[in-house]
A and B are shown apart, each in its own frame.
Chain A
Amino acid sequence: DQQVKQNSPSLSVQEGRISILNCDYTNSMFDYFLWYKKYPAEGPTFLISISSIKDKNEDGRFTVFLNKSAKHLSLHIVPSQPGDSAVYFCAAFPGAGSYQLTFGKGTKLSVIP
Chain B
Amino acid sequence: DTAVSQTPKYLVTQMGNDKSIKCEQNLGHDTMYWYKQDSKKFLKIMFSYNNKELIINETVPNRFSPKSPDKAHLNLHINSLELGDSAVYFCASSQEWGSGEKLFFGSGTQLSVL
Contacts and interface: CB of A to CB of B under 8 A. Distances in A.
A103 B100 contact: no
Interface in B67-114: 90, 92, 97-100, 102-108
B55 A43 contact: no
Given A43-B92, A44-B43, A96-B98, A101 B103 contact: yes
Q: Which residue of A32, A44, A103 has the most chain B CB atoms within 10 A of its CB atom?
A: A44
Interface of A: 32, 34, 36, 41-46, 49, 89, 93, 95-101, 103, 105-106
A44 B105 contact: yes
B56 to A, nearest CB: 5
Task: Please report whether the interface of chain A is mostly helix, strand, loop or mixed according to DSSP.
Answer: loop
Contacts of A36: 105
A103 to B, nearest CB: 4
A100 B104 contact: no
A2 to B, nearest CB: 8
Given A89-B43, A103-B42, A45 B55 contact: no
A49 B102 contact: yes
A98 B100 CA distance: 8
A73 to B, nearest CB: 15
Interface residues of B, number: 24
Contacts of B99: 96
B21 interface: no
Given A46-B103, A99-B98, 13 more contacts: A32-B100, A41-B9, A43-B92, A43-B105, A43-B106, A43-B107, A44-B105, A45-B105, A49-B102, A89-B43, A96-B100, A99-B97, A101-B45
A97 B48 CA distance: 14
A46 B27 CA distance: 15
18 contacts: A32-B100, A36-B105, A41-B9, A41-B108, A43-B4, A43-B90, A44-B105, A45-B104, A45-B105, A46-B102, A46-B103, A49-B102, A89-B43, A95-B100, A96-B100, A97-B98, A99-B56, A101-B103
